[in-house]
Amino acid sequence: MIVDLPDTTTSQVSKALVKIREEGGVVALGRVLTLVIATTPGVEEEAIEAANDASREHPMRVIVVSTEPGTETSAVAPRLDAEIRVGGDAGASEVIVLRACGDAARDEESLIMALLLPDAPVVTWWPGAAPEVPGRSPLGRIAHRRITDASAQPDPQEALRALAGNYTPGDADFAWTRLTLWRAQLAAVLDQPPYEPVTRVRVSGAVDSPSTTLLAAWLRLQLNAPTEYELAGPEAGYHGIHGVSLEREGGSIELIRDVPGIATLRQPGQPRHDLALPRRNLRDCLADELRRLDPDELYGEVITRGLELLDARGQGGTE
């Protein structure tokens, strides 16, 4: 069910939610958190669909704040249009879409405060353009977790460095979340004999893949070995992370993804293995991040200390 509230106020939206709950008895019951999605008009649906899918694992209230950059000036007439989605149109959540312009879009924090679930954690997600310092932004200040996506920025590598310089505990980025399968596979390989130290690390990936850089930073931090990373342009013909090579005295371990979704593992003295290693979609990344509402300390170490070590003279990579 979708309820449209054109030219409205947050007070009227709140009253409409109460009315829907009284009539249907299913809204705002059993919700464990509030997810705030900050986006722009015309691109909300993909994020809402991912949130609806993730809500089956994490029942929540979803508040979508959709504002067009530049329309928060006084020259634009203030207006707030809202939409409430429940039932089959909202998965296991309830979705409130707020489309604001003019003065109504100027103070995003005040815009949503009356709609937050009481005594429930708040997570803010920017699926597209994110503020320079998420932790100090109006929607970031009220959140326990703040999720960005460096790969969605015009310059993903520069965005990653900006996140590192402005990191606040509670920050998270999908560039890190997409590494879960790679990290698990590499950890499993290194947990097998022979337990030889890694003497050199090589990581390769696409230039628009901040996950490649974070993977190199994580390996540099964890293995304390010289680490090189190569970021290739579109002419290389691959997207995201391409591969990892770990050199040891007894030979190199290679995990290379030449085919989308399939990686080949080569180890000294063992047969070649083909492993499923797909790029994680928005739903999987979002559901993964919502499983923990405390700061991800390892991500904080990697994006600050790990990147510093990676870029240090004599230890870093080539671009």
What is the tens place of the pLDDT at every residue in 221-238? 999 999 999 999 888 888
Q: Please compute the mean of the pLDDT values over residues 82-110 and round it to a whole number.
A: 86
Instruction: For strands 171-173 and 145-148, give the pairing.
Output: parallel
> Is the model's pLDDT at 239 over the cut of 90?
no
What is the tens place of the pLDDT at every residue in 191-226? 999 899 999 999 999 999 999 999 999 999 999 999
Total number of domains constituting the chain: 2
Helix ranges (H only) for 25-103 are: 44-55
- To the question of pTM greater than 0.85 for the whole model, the response is yes
Query: What's the CA angle centered on 100, arms 97 and 101, to 5 degrees?
Result: 160
Residue 70: the pLDDT is 66
What is the tens place of the pLDDT at every residue in 36-88? 999 999 899 999 999 999 998 989 999 999 998 766 655 778 899 999 998 87
| Among the listed residues 128, 122, 123, the one whose alpha carbon sits nearest the alpha carbon of residue 45 | 128
Dihedral-angle region of residue 254 (phi above 0 means left; psi in -120 to 50 means alpha; beta otherwise): beta
Check whether residue 226 and residue 309 sit in a common domain: yes
Which of residues 114, 148, 173 is at a domain's end?
Answer: 173
On whether the CB atoms of residues 10 and 80 are closer than 8 A, the answer is: yes
Which of residues 139, 173, 207 is at a domain's end?
Answer: 173
- Measured CA to CA, the distance from residue 259 to residue 310 in angstroms comes to 27
Check whether residue 148 and residue 40 sit in a common domain: yes
The residue segments making up the domain with residue 22 are 2-173
Three-state secondary structure call for residue 258: strand
Residue 235: the pLDDT is 85
What is the tens place of the pLDDT at every residue in 169-192? 999 999 999 999 999 999 999 999
Q: Please compute the mean of the pLDDT values over residues 137-157 and round it to a whole number.
A: 96
CATH code: domain of residue 136:
3.40.50
Residue 21: the pLDDT is 80
| pLDDT > 70: percent of the chain | 92
Mean of all residue pLDDT scores within the chain: 91
- Measured CA to CA, the distance from residue 285 to residue 267 in angstroms comes to 29
pLDDT bracket for residue 285 (50, 70, 90): very high
pLDDT bracket for residue 92 (50, 70, 90): low
Which of residues 173, 201, 219 is at a domain's end?
Answer: 173
Measured CA distances, 189 to 81, 182, 196, 306 (Å): 53, 11, 12, 21
Measured CA distances, 25 to 86, 137, 227, 284 (Å): 11, 35, 57, 29
Check whether residue 11 and residue 152 sit in a common domain: yes
pLDDT bracket for residue 27 (50, 70, 90): very low
Check whether residue 253 and residue 120 sit in a common domain: no
